[in-house]
């Protein structure tokens, strides 16, 4: 039986549900929150409440949004002719950090994995086909992860787009060696793709 | 006491774990199915590169510490199967093959035949991704059942031993049954029977063809046999990925 008062125990239990947080860490965080001043502790509670109440999915691209449409879809300076398809909202951030992509996004909400019961109907793939068919999109960049499930998703969508919107160019992010990596450690699939995708120096 | 284990292995599954790690399900020739953690393997500069993705056949060194999970300390590629990864149908077939192995052989008991069967199936899909047909997948599953000691009885009625009038399949009896014993069974076309006999007798590459109706009966026979005798539910064969329409 726990020696903590029920409210403390409840906080520990809730924190321990977070990914990567075990009971010991949850207990440390709970005591930190208890020691924190009221403004900080209530700020954390308010932030959690606000994010749950105000954040939903953009009705156009399914990225996270604090209104009907996300900030990227609302930005009229973005190029509407090019669409980047990613698995999760978190994948938009690293692409935005490059400042190289001028277009808009489409967030699938995961990757295909029939083994895990994730079929095309579980993702925003039909919505992507509709969006491409009824807009001025000229190029779709498939930026799913270069994992087995990400590759399967990209191949499936590429087939679907070629069938439904043959005029649209479908591209895939290049595969190759990360900057600063050693050739010695490169795996054979990555290295053979890097060789196949070589370009004039 | 900590030790290291050097073994060949096929990556059945790779599960994201924590910030940058992966938990791998590996199938080995001498140690059956093992789980291992590959720390930092999701980082772009990881020394493992992409070789811990499913379907890679590797030589690995695993550290056995106090935890139940071993730790991958080294991995060298034996076969990466790059062509298999360029087609949705072969990717899906490979995933289903690995899933079936992981479900039917989930212990550390050695089954070198299963390891080699899976290695052959992946090599076959890599050589010819168009070979990811339903008949190929069902032939692979029949051979897996054989390795598990669950091969369907096909030479005589599995209930009474009668050798004529074999018209149905009974998962409970473990094979085909005659007209007199067909209670709790389902009808089996002669083409489905021929497919099972042919697939068990031929190499994977020479899996026979059969009409779709017969293949569906074979799939049902395999699935219900595994369910009844091994309490394992196999995922459906076939692919939802190669048919985008």
Q: pLDDT, tens digit, for every residue of B35-80?
A: 999 999 988 888 898 899 999 999 999 999 888 899 999 999 999 9
Among candidates A182, A188, A173, A20, which has minimal Cα distance to B46? Answer: A182
Q: What is the pLDDT of residues B121-180, one digit of tens each?
A: 999 999 998 888 999 999 999 999 999 999 999 999 998 988 888 889 999 999 999 988
Span between the terminal Cα atoms of chain B, in Å: 55
Look up the CATH superfamily of A6-54: RecR Domain 1 (1.10.8.420)
CA distance A3 to chain B (A): 29
Look at the alpha carbons of A97, A103, A105, A111 in this order and tell me if their dihedral is positive or negative. negative
**Cβ within 8 Å, pair A188-B96:** no
User: In tens digits, what is the pLDDT along chain A, a chain of 201 residues?
Assistant: 578 899 999 999 999 999 888 899 999 999 999 999 999 999 999 999 999 999 999 999 999 999 999 999 999 999 999 999 999 999 999 999 999 999 999 999 999 987 788 889 999 999 999 999 999 999 999 999 999 999 999 999 999 999 999 999 999 999 888 888 888 888 888 888 889 888 888
State pTM to two decimals: 0.85
Report chain B residues whose CB lies below 8 A from the CB of A113: 95
Q: Is B80 on the interface with A (CB under 8 A)?
A: yes
Q: How far is A28 from chain B (nearest CA, A)?
A: 19
Q: Contact B96/B237 with Cβ under 8 angstroms? A: yes
Number of H helices, E strands in chain B: 5, 8
Task: Identify the CATH assignment for B84-230 out of 1.20.1440.120, 1.10.150.120, 1.10.3720.10, 2.40.10.10.
Answer: 1.20.1440.120
Residues 114 to 143 of B: which have CB under 8 A from any A CB?
none
Structural domain boundaries in chain A:
6-54, 77-172
Question: What's domain B3-79's superfamily in CATH?
Answer: Nucleic acid-binding proteins (2.40.50.140)
Do the Cβ atoms of A119 and B240 come within 8 Å?
Answer: yes
User: Does the predicted interface ipTM exceed a cut of 0.85?
Assistant: no
What SS3 state is found at B61?
Answer: strand
Which residues in chain B have their CB less than 8 angstroms from residue A145's CB? none
Question: CB under 8 Å to B22, separation ≥6 — which residues?
Answer: B14, B15, B16, B37, B38, B41, B42, B52
Position B242 pLDDT exceeds 60: no
Query: What would the CATH number be for the domain defined by A77-172?
Result: 3.40.1360.10
Q: Do A163 and B44 touch (CB under 8 A)?
A: no
Distance of residue B172 Cα from the nearest chain A Cα, in angstroms: 26
């Amino acid at each position: 039986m726990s020696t903590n008062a029920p409210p403390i125990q409840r906080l520990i239990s809730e924190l321990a549900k977070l990914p990567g947080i075990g009971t010991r860490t949850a207990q440390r965080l709970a005591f930190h929150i208890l020691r924190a001043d009221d403004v900080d502790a209530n700020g954390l509670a308010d932030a959690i409440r606000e994010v749950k109440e105000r954040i939903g999915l953009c009705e156009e691209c399914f990225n996270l949004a604090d209104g009907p449409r996300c900030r990227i879809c609302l930005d009229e300076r973005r190029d509407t002719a090019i669409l980047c398809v990613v698995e999760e909202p978190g994948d938009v951030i690293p692409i935005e950090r490059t400042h190289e992509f001028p277009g808009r996004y489409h967030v699938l909400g995961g990757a295909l994995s029939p083994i895990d019961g994730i079929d095309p109907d579980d993702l925003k793939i039909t919505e992507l086909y509709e969006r491409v068919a009824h807009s001025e999109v000229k190029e779709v960049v498939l930026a799913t992860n270069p994992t087995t499930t990400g590759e399967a998703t990209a191949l499936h969508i590429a087939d679907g787009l070629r069938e439904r919107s043959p005029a649209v160019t479908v591209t895939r992010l290049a595969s190759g060696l990360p900057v600063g990596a050693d050739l010695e450690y490169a795996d054979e699939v990555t290295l053979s793709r890097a060789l196949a995708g070589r370009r004039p120096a | 006491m900590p030790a290291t284990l050097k073994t060949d292995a096929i990556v059945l599954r790779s599960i994201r774990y924590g910030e940058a790690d992966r938990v791998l399900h590996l199938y080995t020739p001498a140690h059956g199915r093992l789980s291992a953690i590959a720390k930092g393997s999701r980082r772009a500069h990881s020394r493992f590169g992409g070789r811990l993705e499913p379907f890679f056949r590797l030589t690995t060194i695993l550290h056995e510490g106090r935890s139940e999970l071993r730790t991958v300390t080294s991995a060298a590629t034996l076969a990466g199967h790059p062509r298999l990864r360029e087609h949705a149908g072969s990717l899906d077939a490979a995933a289903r093959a690995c899933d079936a192995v992981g479900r039917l052989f989930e212990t550390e008991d050695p089954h070198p035949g299963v390891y080699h069967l899976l290695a052959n199936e992946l090599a076959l899909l890599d050589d010819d991704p168009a070979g990811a047909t339903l008949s190929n997948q069902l032939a692979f599953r029949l051979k897996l059942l054989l390795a598990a000691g669950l091969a369907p009885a096909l030479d005589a009625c599995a209930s009474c031993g009668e050798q004529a009038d074999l018209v149905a399949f009974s998962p409970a009896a473990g094979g085909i049954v005659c007209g007199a014993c067909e209670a709790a069974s389902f009808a089996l076309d002669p083409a489905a029977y021929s497919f099972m006999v042919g697939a068990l007798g031929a190499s994977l590459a020479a899996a026979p063809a059969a009409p779709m109706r017969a293949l569906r009966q074979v799939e049902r026979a395999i699935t219900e046999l595994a369910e009844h005798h091994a309490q394992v539910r196999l995922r459906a064969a076939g692919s939802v990925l190669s048919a985008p329409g």
